[in-house]
A = this chain, B = another copy of it.
């Protein structure tokens, strides 16, 4: 036994602020998975068709598997997932209480548009974390076929009644507006998390111009998704 142990991760993973930022990112993703489970289960309850229920239950179960993987990864940082999620309860719970779907279509759009927007953002942040954490984040955020399901349902609904498109377009704007306002609330209170994006003297990060380009990317991707659904963003 001689020399230093092999490093699987970047040297700045010893940095306390960095580690706190990663734990924050993972805590958000874990709590996001739990709330996604609840909402998908609720969408399943609203679904009239049994094969839709099966699809939604399957998607919900997958969120629990994601939660478990993130829980294990956070434990590697010496942190309990319950503690890691705690700072984000208020923002998530506020988002969900302001955006309760009135029916299955609104629920489906919320899961698709809201979760995809959040996932895009988490992937942007994950560009600045160690390779193990980054690949975990990408795996748990990968779409598992729910997008196609939602696109099909929303398009069918619009085809059956064109008025649906206007209502869902408004709903999509409201979801993104609420998501951004809760994200700002989180950013303002969690320096370690925002410093993952902005970097520090010792760590790479985005300057203001890069952050502004990132928001442009997020909004453009969102607009593309809405347009795939046949909805204006």
- Collect the chain B residues with CB atoms within 8 Å of residue A51's CB: 82
Query: Which of B64, B82, B89 is the one whose CB lies under 8 Å from A58?
Result: B64
- Collect the chain B residues with CB atoms within 8 Å of residue A50's CB: 34, 82, 85, 89
Q: Which of A41-49, A123-131, A133-141 forms contacts with chain B?
A: A41-49
Complex CA–CA separation, A61 to B68 (angstroms): 11
Complex CA–CA separation, A44 to B45 (angstroms): 14
**Which of under 10, 10 to 19, 20 to 34, or 35 or more describes the interface residues of A?**
20 to 34
Max chain B Cβ within 10 angstroms of own Cβ: one of A61, A63, A82 = A61
Complex CA–CA separation, A201 to B77 (angstroms): 64
- Collect the chain B residues with CB atoms within 8 Å of residue A82's CB: 50-51, 54
Which parts of A1-60 form the interface with B (CB within 8 Å)? 34, 37-38, 41-42, 44-45, 50-51, 53-54, 57-58, 60
10 contacts between A and B (CB under 8 A): A34-B57, A37-B41, A37-B57, A37-B61, A41-B45, A41-B60, A50-B82, A54-B82, A61-B63, A61-B64
